[in-house]
Every structure is written in structure tokens, then in C-alpha cells.
Amino acid sequence: MEQSEVLERVVKILTPWAKNEEALAKVGMETSILDDLKVNSARLVDVIIAFEDDFDIEIADEDVDSVNSVGDAVNLILAKL
């Protein structure tokens, strides 16, 4: 799967949780999930589980520690596929 396709699906998954629509409109690999998109940190686990379901992968708790930006999420998913 191409990085661009994973990015597109990741952004689609993040959309319902993102409170900053302006940041969402110009989202990129460097965009911070919590700081820029304003996703509630307590809900990050729901996002991660949505990644698991959408991409049919399993993400360990420790893996979540490395996910700060959209690019981190994309790279983690690519590594799991």
C-alpha cells in the first residue's frame, strides 16, 4: 500500500475526532494529532483502535508512545502492514 493511500485513510479516520477544522484542511505528515488537530488525548485510544480495524493490524500500547504526528501514525501503519 502506498504512503499516500495510508495518509488519506488516516486523515479520514481522524476527521471525526479533530476539533481544529482549519488544521484538518491543510493536514500533512508533520501535523500533530493532539496539538494541531486538537484531538482529545483521552480519545487517542479510539483513534488507534479505528486504525487497527481499518487496516486490519494490531497496535501495541508501546507503539502508541511513538505516535505524535499524522506521519508517525502513517509510518507505524506502514510498518505493520
Partner 1 sequence: MTLAAPLWVPLAAGCLRLVGGYSVRNLGRARAEFDGIWRETDDPLMLCGNHLTLIDSFLIMWVLRSPWRLLTDPKSFAWNTPERTNFARSPLYSALTYFAKCIPITRGGRREDTGLVLDRVVHLLERGELALLFPEGGRSRSGRVDPAAAAWGVGRVIGALPNCRVLCIFLRGDAQQSWGRFPARGDTLTVEMSCIEPKSDYRGARRSRDLARQVTAQLAKMEEEYFDGRQ
Provide the binding-site residues for partner 1, judged by CB under 8 A: 34-35, 40-42, 44-46, 48-49, 52, 58-62, 64-68
Query: Which CB, 2 or 58, lies closer to partner 1?
Result: 58
Q: Which three cell numbers stand for residue 76?
A: 507505524
- Please report how close the Cβ of residue 25 comes to partner 1 at its closest, in angstroms: 21
For residue 20, report the phi and psi dihedrals to the nearest 5 degrees: -100, 95
Query: Contact, 29 vs 75, CB < 8 A?
Result: no
Query: Which CB, 3 or 40, lies closer to partner 1?
Result: 40
| 22: Cα separation from own chain's centroid | 17
DSSP code at position 41: G
- Please report how close the Cβ of residue 56 comes to partner 1 at its closest, in angstroms: 13
